[in-house]
Structure 1
């Protein structure tokens, strides 16, 4: 699983392919579709302070966040250990649902 940081003509983004992640089974077991839109909501719930400074341009097969290099580096550092851990993803989904958060997947 690779999280990519891009710099294209001064626009900075972070992307990864949705699907095929170690945490997908946990997402599906919780009744969600592990697509780019799900991960967008996941980031907004799990790290609202980081997400507030980003714009999102996800698609079904890809998560995409656009922002400053420093905000994207913070997001990458937060995301990398979580999306490879079904247990961590399960925990965050449970907390989100308990709080009434709605995933848009």
Structure 2
């Protein structure tokens, strides 16, 4: 299941989008005490970049809203890489549980 999509919003400007509340792991997110909103997913993205994909750091910007996660920029490869990582988490309840547990243990704030 693909929950993220990469769209060209203007010439050379791309947005990676996820409609919050539409992933297979929404119930797990709530079970873990979080809201499956755009701000939570920004936290997931930031955690993944800082722990698994440091090469992506600084290559795009975040602009989430309550009902949508959005990362945008001009670096297609970076946004595609983030999308691949996030798809893995969005479709795997056990991976989401591990990610939230590790982030919580580290004192990370998902800001949801």
Question: What's the TM-score bracket when you normalise by the shorter of the two chains?
Answer: over 0.9
Tell me what 2:63 maps to.
57
Contact persistence 2:28–2:93 (CA under 8 A):
yes
- The two structures, once aligned, show a CA RMSD in angstroms of 1.2
Please report how far the alpha carbon of residue 53 of structure 1 lies from its aligned counterpart in structure 2 after TM superposition. Answer: 2.1
- Gap change, CA 1:22 and 1:51, over 3 Å in 2: farther
Please report how far the alpha carbon of residue 51 of structure 1 lies from its aligned counterpart in structure 2 after TM superposition. Answer: 4.4
Please report how far the alpha carbon of residue 2 of structure 1 lies from its aligned counterpart in structure 2 after TM superposition. Answer: 2.7
Alignment map for 1:42-53 (pairs within 5 Å) = 42-48=44-50, 49=54, 50-53=56-59
TM-score, L = length of structure 1: 0.92
Query: Unaligned regions of 5+ residues in structure 1, if any?
Result: none
TM-score, L = length of structure 2: 0.87
